Structure 1
């Protein structure tokens, strides 16, 4: 008698929850997870000590996120070929090294950027592609929820990192703040060392891998598909908007009269929303047409931009933060899910890694361009106006992905 889908789903989680736990911490405290969420706490202290502008400090994100994202296709290739465990573990060590370097910064802006480049390059293996590849290979019946739980690690980082960093910086100084950040990937490393065994992505277990997980598009077939470029365009525009707002939210709110601690608490609302939205999106993706779910969620920050262009109260500023968090919570989950559902798992690491360059480019452009716009205009209003248009395009364009390929290449069919 065949096992029911519910029974299969329960079996997947009973065997795979440790993998999800380790992967969630890896995503949250890896090379991409909290660079954006922590930089806001350092903007004013570094400006006071070294005379750096907000734009100059935010420029570190272009190195800390952008370089790592552009290296993601190489990481994806290495994972598909050699397996993800060693690559992910050494990547977490690299993140810690980069933050320790940042804490040793003098007055050289070039060295500061080099430290963030070290976070990106030495820590590239700890990016989302390592963790999502392993989870997508293990889960089939509840892949959407499993990926959502994994990627909720970024929400965990968004809740915890801003107040944690602000507290340490305000009480012990920015140098100790960077040392405190370096501890976080070590926590993830401990969990991953015990629980992260992505056997299905290991070449040594290739014979035991269910043939279903090896179907899908070649890299060339994916790149020649209009869906690839549509996903890339949506990811790019959404991430310019999201990463433009998030690291600038604390300085934008302090400009409007909020204290740094209160502004950090508002930004933490982003993280709570990110987790809730990510789990909700994962549940919905397993039951409804993904692009429709995506369009509703990804356009919600349009309302947030309208709020932030005015003079928000604490409640409305929190609502804006929550709406941006909902979109951010959906975006990475949608990317991982759509990459597997539309293109399959045979070359998931390489395809996902190439799509992730949209995240990298967006995350590199967003913070520095929004900070620059605020610098030349005297406020963040112009930045929020630009973000409004980006969110509208990125959200609605996803509807044109169309129906899933026949046979579900993400599980058991060849590309069609």
Structure 2
């Protein structure tokens, strides 16, 4: 028995927390970002427009990012594990209920509320808790945890397409719901809230001598959200999110409109997952070396470049280039953002502050994909929505540049004082 436990005793438990967060983001967002594969079946089933079907995803996205403002502070107070387990079970039930829906309104309620509330109560607590377990390798650990989103985006859309073709879209949602509840809920049990509960410090170092407990350093939620730094981050994330989630809903329909076969169109969504996974694995670690704040600006600028490629991409291969580049920088953005929050405001209320920041992403997710769908319904082209998406990312980059300059001036003034 002792020999069986020896290998795991050499592994810092923080990596098990990372693995749990990876599993949660893999099945949760993997299923959510497979929605593009369901757009055409839902249109046919309910005789609905592309904009009205896109609103299903937007409602869910609004909730699962917006509810971080509730689940984050609850995780700081009650611990993350119970919230993440409950969120995964609720996500599974929401997917199953969507499969049983008999009207588009019922899909709004089942998918929008079930998946929205479920991921909303799981995501921020799972990612926030990872930040406490690491210091030197925080960017890498955070990137590894959220790389589940990228791997899920790679693996789940083809699985969803296969399920739709074999057992129908309803059966596909039943199957995905069971997968989320069992795999996500089960592995979430590995989550523990603080390394000090195991007598450890971040990165597996010994805790500071004489420190016991539970008090963590950092800003209160009120102090954080009133700071110019948080306000700038919030504005940048809000504006970038208007365009940042449009490809997850509209890339497959866009490709189909340009004569690309369904199986190949879904592969484009998986290609975003490939790029996203690479971005989370590599760019999070790179940010630890070159600076996480400057890396965040690089990610937003890269997403802008990718959206500019999309404007002129009409063939499978040009869209593949777009998907890879967009996925790479989108993945880096998601990986680095929680670490930037931890760097800026400390561990005391990290989940709560991340959750409030993500409410900006919620608003962008609610408005961007659905607005793109309704714009397509009016114009029968995606040119304007894609250009608008690129434009919002340019504005977000300008806000981050201004924030960096303000911080530099403040730091220099503080140094002279």
**Which category describes the TM-score, using the shorter chain as reference length?**
0.7 to 0.9
Match of 2:152 in 1: 157
Q: Where in structure 2 are the equivalents of 1:5-84 lying within 5 Å?
A: 14-30=12-28, 33-34=29-30, 36-84=32-80
| Secondary structure in 2 matching 1:257 | coil
Match of 1:136 in 2: 131
Residue 124 of structure 1: how far off its partner (Å): 2.8
Alpha-carbon distance in structure 1 between the residues aligned to 2:323 and 2:76:
36
C-alpha contact 2:80 2:191 (8 A) present in aligned 1 = no
| Secondary structure in 2 matching 1:152 | helix
Residue 199 of structure 1: how far off its partner (Å): 3.9
Match of 1:188 in 2: 184
TM-score, normalised via structure 2 length: 0.87
| Secondary structure in 2 matching 1:198 | coil
C-alpha contact 1:291 1:399 (8 A) present in aligned 2 = no
C-alpha contact 2:196 2:212 (8 A) present in aligned 1 = no
C-alpha contact 1:237 1:394 (8 A) present in aligned 2 = yes
Q: Where in structure 2 are the equivalents of 1:189-338 lying within 5 Å?
A: 189-193=185-189, 195-200=190-195, 214-338=216-340
CA deviation digits over 1:163-211, x for unaligned, max 9? 1111111222110110122133121222223x22334498xx9999767
Pair 1:361 & 2:363 matched: yes
C-alpha contact 1:294 1:395 (8 A) present in aligned 2 = no
Residue 12 of structure 1: how far off its partner (Å): 9.9
After superposition, the Cα gap between the structure-2 partners of 1:152 and 1:201, relative to the gap in structure 1 and judged at 3 Å, is farther
After superposition, the Cα gap between the structure-2 partners of 1:303 and 1:71, relative to the gap in structure 1 and judged at 3 Å, is closer
Alpha-carbon distance in structure 2 between the residues aligned to 1:74 and 1:12:
36
TM-score, normalised via structure 1 length: 0.87
C-alpha contact 2:88 2:122 (8 A) present in aligned 1 = yes
Alpha-carbon distance in structure 2 between the residues aligned to 1:18 and 1:333:
18
C-alpha contact 2:31 2:152 (8 A) present in aligned 1 = no
Any gaps of 5 or more consecutive residues in structure 2? Answer: 1-8, 202-206, 409-417
C-alpha contact 2:313 2:322 (8 A) present in aligned 1 = no
C-alpha contact 1:99 1:182 (8 A) present in aligned 2 = yes
CA deviation digits over 1:380-408, x for unaligned, max 9? 111111011012222343233338989xx
Residue 370 of structure 1: how far off its partner (Å): 0.8
Alpha-carbon distance in structure 2 between the residues aligned to 1:296 and 1:212:
36
1:94 to 72, 90, 93: 90
Greater shift, 213-222 or 91-100, is seen at: 213-222
| Secondary structure in 2 matching 1:111 | helix
Alpha-carbon distance in structure 2 between the residues aligned to 1:209 and 1:243:
43
Residue 229 of structure 1: how far off its partner (Å): 1.3
Alpha-carbon RMSD: 2.7
Residue 215 of structure 1: how far off its partner (Å): 1.1
Any gaps of 5 or more consecutive residues in structure 1? Answer: 1-10, 407-416
Residue 334 of structure 1: how far off its partner (Å): 2.3
* Number of positions where the alignment pairs a residue of Structure 1 with one of Structure 2: 391
Residue 356 of structure 1: how far off its partner (Å): 0.7
C-alpha contact 1:137 1:201 (8 A) present in aligned 2 = no
